[in-house]
Amino acid sequence: MNSKRASMNSGSLPYRQPPRGRNNNLKNPTLLIRSVPIPGPGGGITEPNPKLFPRHADEFYSLRDASSEHSRRMLAYLAKFYDIGAQSAGSSGSDRAEVLLHIDPKRAVELLEDILGLREEHFIVFRERARLLTA
């Protein structure tokens, strides 16, 4: 076992790759993406609501269109949870609820992509390879 992995391993628990790292390695857009927890109140960690977190990259990138009520709600929730509403609208953050109503879906997905460690080019290459194999 290498020293980096050994130092990250606590006792008998197996080493687990952090969510951002695992998401960054995804290539198949239908595989599950992992949420990235944030610091919670009282020093713990908080995970996003699984009902409002995209299951896979295809669902995540479809949020750019935000065509359904569910996808708009999901995008607003993620923007609030990961605190990107003000960044995506260029606001100072003083009126965050107002900003969430006017969030640019494409910019929000771009910011969330970085937070979650996703890389769209990996999925594009995967789809192209799959297309070539079926041709």
pTM beyond 0.95: the answer is: no
DSSP assignment string, 52-74: GS-SBHHHHHGGGT--SHHHHHH
Which is nearest to 38 in space by CA: 28, 27, 46?
46
Q: What are phi and psi of 56, to 5 degrees?
A: -145, 170
Residue 113's pLDDT is what?
96
Please indicate, yes or no, if residue 101 is contained in any of the structural domains.
yes
Per-residue pLDDT of 82-131, as tens digits, reads 999 755 445 444 444 444 556 789 999 999 999 999 999 999 999 999 99
Q: What span, in angstroms and rounded, lies between the C-alpha atoms of 103 and 119? A: 21
Please indicate, yes or no, if residue 123 is contained in any of the structural domains.
yes
Please indicate, yes or no, if residue 79 is contained in any of the structural domains.
yes
Please indicate, yes or no, if residue 27 is contained in any of the structural domains.
no
Q: How many domains does the chain have?
A: 1
Tell me which residue has tokens 């050994």: 6
Question: Under 8 Å CB-to-CB from 9, ≥6 apart: which residues?
Answer: 1, 15
Mean pLDDT of the chain: 81
Please indicate, yes or no, if residue 135 is contained in any of the structural domains.
yes
Q: Is residue 64 very low, low, confident or very high in pLDDT (cuts 50, 70, 90)?
A: very high
Please indicate, yes or no, if residue 30 is contained in any of the structural domains.
no
Q: Quick one: what percent of the chain has pLDDT higher than 90?
A: 59
Q: Is residue 13 very low, low, confident or very high in pLDDT (cuts 50, 70, 90)?
A: very low
Residue ranges making up the domain that contains 59: 49-135
Average pLDDT over residues 58-77: 94
Please indicate, yes or no, if residue 76 is contained in any of the structural domains.
yes
Q: Helix 69-81 crosses helix 105-116 at what angle (to 10 degrees)? A: 50
Please indicate, yes or no, if residue 38 is contained in any of the structural domains.
no
